[in-house]
Amino acid sequence: MILYTPLSESDIFPSSENAYKNRECINYNGKMIIADKTDDGSYQMVQLISTDPQDYLDQRYIPGTFLS
């Protein structure tokens, strides 16, 4: 089966439900981002979802970045 999607394989076929309970899809500066919500209420970026290749070159959207 071939699946064409901008999402990663782990987002489509998660290993366990508990691993993703803090994960949310949020809008940050007009960009769709998948982020993990931390205990203090901030977000840590996991993945940028965009069709614009220039968005992936922007230093603000590096996975692992804490969003404020």
- Is 28's pLDDT higher than 90? yes
Q: Which domain holds residue 58?
A: 21-67
Q: Does the residue 32 lie in any domain?
A: yes
Q: What pLDDT is attached to residue 59?
A: 93
The predicted model gives 22-33 an average pLDDT of: 94
Report the alpha-carbon distance of residue 10 to residue 15 in Å, rounded.
7
The predicted model gives 35-53 an average pLDDT of: 94
- Is 17's pLDDT higher than 80? no
Q: Does the residue 11 lie in any domain?
A: no
Q: What pLDDT is attached to residue 30?
A: 94
Locus of tokens 């205990």: 39
Q: Does the residue 42 lie in any domain?
A: yes
- Is 25's pLDDT higher than 90? yes
Q: What pLDDT is attached to residue 8?
A: 80
What's the domain count of the chain? Answer: 1
